[in-house]
Structure 1
Amino acid sequence: MSVKKTKVHLISGFLGTGKTTALKSLMAQKDPNEKWVIIVNEFGEIGIDGAVLSDNGIPVAEIAGGCLCCTAGPQLGNTVQKMLRDAKPDRLMIEASGLAHAASVIDELKVKPLSEELEIAAVFTVVDPRQFVSPDYAQQALYKDQIGVCDVLVASKTDLCTPEVMAEFHEQAAKLFPPKAKVVEVQNARLDIQWLDIPVIEKPRYRLKAEVLPDNTMGFQSEGFTFPAGQDFDGERLTHFFNDLPKMTEGLVRAKGVFQVLGTWVWLNWVDGQWGANQVSWRRDSRFELIAKSFDADLIEQKLKEALE
């Protein structure tokens, strides 16, 4: 008999983007029949956000003095276990420090025994579009980590942005890989509570959206493949798969994927006959996308499965 798991939502984002305000907006819309608990992480020794959030009867725990994935890391597991034991909540909301590596927080929550009691539901990252479109921010590993890990990308402080900045934000957000389940603009960091339950699990096979495809009159075909988190790929087999890909396709235009390999996550991208690899913060699933003149999708799927450990 399966045990009902507590849904956990991480709210991430850089300093000053409005994470606490976003969380307060969700709390104000909470179904009174749902039981929530909240963990707030602040980098300073004295927590402020916890005091702001603790005035409506929802249990709030603070972890101060370091980000969840570093100095305060060991506290996270203990705090979560105590809150699950004491409150038996339906949802656990975690507001991460603006300096937290969000992917490392997710990794902590996916380790037993926590993984047996938690379901990683929609993950949110709140951004200031002016920072999002700036190369100075885009090149920072911490910022990339927070963007990469989320399911819902939230543009806050939009009233301070020009139409040109917002257009650039949406253009860049549409190109993110893996794609986001939702990209939204909000006023005053107000989130819609229905976004907590957006579907975050992709189908095993899917067609790419029209906006990422070349001109359809050229006759390209596309396909995407996903594999559940927890299934490791073999690095050497993946290398062979990418090396052999041009032989399995005609007119290869794009091939890229995120794969879980030996417990880490890597981004692989094929461009102009060469492919490169980088670490990535995505944690939802392993996935591969392909655009070419023609290919056998069943064969591609078979070869991907053969690359699993």
Structure 2
Amino acid sequence: MIVKAIPTNIITGFLGVGKTSLIKQLLKTKPEGETWAVLVNEFGEVGIDAGLMDASNSGVQIREVAGGCMCCAAGVPTQVAINQLIARAKPDRLLIEPTGLGHPNEIIKVLSAPHYQNVISLRSTLCLIDARKLRDERYRGHDNFIQQLHVADVIVTTKTDLYPEFEAAQGGQLAEELTQYLNELQLSDTSVMEHSALQGISTSLLESLKLPRRQATKASGSQSAVFKPVNSSSSLLRHTADTLGLQGIFAESASEQGFRFDARGLVRKHNQGEGCFSCGWVFEPMQEFDFDKLMQFISAQTQGHSALLRLKAVMITSDGIAGINWSDGDMALTELDDSLDSRLEMIATQEINWDEVEQGLIGCLVA
């Protein structure tokens, strides 16, 4: 039974800005005895972020909604996922990560609806930004990039350890460019914080999670009336979800969805929207990859496709389970404790020869 409203934060930001990495660090700050829940929405269809978070802490529950539907106007898949996660985890805090290609205003509308008033206490929305992207018009002029900043209560500059020229405290050039850009968007009053993965979560960033959602009322608007309470166990809702093609949201996580593997022991899934294309592969658990060949393959993909925006993977290899997270030249490689299977996904601004990529990936399997 929900005794008090659950403090809830939305952590948004464009592709590859470090949302998953930040949430991993936040989970490490969880007070002992508390349960935190994370709801992750991915643009792709195979679900990888939960695996990259590698939450072995028994006080953490992670749920994925694949296919970028969290930020859609329908509201049903989001409500079902939230209701089921709350019922299962009974969390002391809920963190929600929308897809980097989505606009979080729709999820804010859902969470601001009257029937969640005594269940969810909507706190500050954090928008993460890599200040280097301001020099790239693909980001600077992208509607979702701009809209994500507009819904933010706190803007967090990430990956600053990778570009020391930011120098926020000393007024570095990139810091000045960010200030100018925010002024252009009429966001000069929005709080800006700096975050470096090397330094960990600062006290000020933790405290910012407790701030109230300034725009909660404004975000809900007149449309909040269309969102009605839903019971995730009702046959009517399940029928509605089946009609909408949303069956995947009823799985405990994307990692637990049933995939129909072909004779080679793999499945391939596509998605497209917001000017981007994704392709993801899932391999049966008994399939193992040669680590060196896999890294050579990934290097070839990240260097050989100018349209590639993101590549992420959780792979069972001959050297252990590897978590791989690449974006625009930045590569993070981590060793994970466990994985149900191997998954790799790529997101690009145009179609890539996926058949060719697939053959290269299969070539990395241990014979």
For this structure pair, what is the TM-score category when the shorter chain's length is used for normalisation? Answer: 0.5 to 0.7
Letter in 1 for 2:6: T
Other-structure match for 1:198: 211
The DSSP-based 3-state class of the residue aligned with 1:84 is helix
Shift of residue 94 of structure 1? Answer: 0.7
The DSSP-based 3-state class of the residue aligned with 1:55 is coil
The DSSP-based 3-state class of the residue aligned with 1:154 is strand
Shift of residue 133 of structure 1? Answer: 5.5
Q: Which runs of 5+ in 1 are unaligned?
A: 202-226, 231-258, 265-309
**Residues 52-61 or 37-46, more deviating:** 52-61
Preserved contact between residue 38 and residue 92 of structure 1 (Cα < 8 Å): yes
- Counterparts of 1:269-288 in structure 2, within 5 Å, are none
Instruction: Select which of 149, 168, 177 maps to 2:177.
Output: 168
Instruction: Select which of 191, 196, 200 maps to 1:187.
Output: 196
Structure 1 residues 127-155: Cα deviation after superposition (integer angstroms, max 9, x where no partner)? 11122365553332211110001111011
Q: What fraction of aligned residue pairs are identical, expressed as a percent? A: 31
The DSSP-based 3-state class of the residue aligned with 2:156 is strand
Other-structure match for 2:50: 50
Letter in 2 for 1:49: D
Other-structure match for 1:211: none
| Greater relative contact order (Cα < 8 A, sep 6+) | 2
Other-structure match for 1:40: 40
- Alpha-carbon distance change, 71 to 52 in structure 1, aligned in 2, over 3 angstroms: farther
Structure 1 residues 53-96: Cα deviation after superposition (integer angstroms, max 9, x where no partner)? 23222011110122312298422101111222233222111111
Other-structure match for 2:121: 119
Preserved contact between residue 17 and residue 129 of structure 2 (Cα < 8 Å): yes
- Counterparts of 1:94-243 in structure 2, within 5 Å, are 94-132=96-134, 134=136, 136-161=138-163, 162=165, 163-173=172-182, 177=186, 180=189, 182-188=191-197, 190-192=200-202, 193-198=206-211, 200-201=213-214, 229=217
Shift of residue 100 of structure 1? Answer: 1.3
- Alpha-carbon distance change, 56 to 112 in structure 1, aligned in 2, over 3 angstroms: same
Preserved contact between residue 44 and residue 64 of structure 1 (Cα < 8 Å): yes
The DSSP-based 3-state class of the residue aligned with 1:113 is helix
- Alpha-carbon distance change, 4 to 143 in structure 1, aligned in 2, over 3 angstroms: same
**Mapped partners of 2:129, 2:192: distance in 1:** 11
Coordinate RMSD, CA, aligned? 2.9
Q: Which runs of 5+ in 2 are unaligned?
A: 166-171, 225-367
Instruction: Select which of 55, 78, 81 maps to 1:79.
Output: 81
**Mapped partners of 1:110, 1:87: distance in 2:** 21
The DSSP-based 3-state class of the residue aligned with 2:63 is strand
Aligned length: 210
**Residues 146-155 or 73-82, more deviating:** 73-82
Other-structure match for 2:8: 8
Shift of residue 123 of structure 1? Answer: 0.8
**Mapped partners of 1:261, 1:81: distance in 2:** 22
Preserved contact between residue 36 and residue 90 of structure 1 (Cα < 8 Å): yes
**Mapped partners of 2:48, 2:145: distance in 1:** 23
Shift of residue 30 of structure 1? Answer: 1.2
Preserved contact between residue 151 and residue 180 of structure 1 (Cα < 8 Å): no
**Mapped partners of 1:12, 1:106: distance in 2:** 11
Shift of residue 157 of structure 1? Answer: 2.2
Structure 1 residues 179-221: Cα deviation after superposition (integer angstroms, max 9, x where no partner)? 55520111128443222113555xxxxxxxxxxxxxxxxxxxx
**What TM-score do the two structures reach when normalised by structure 1?**
0.60
Preserved contact between residue 4 and residue 118 of structure 2 (Cα < 8 Å): no
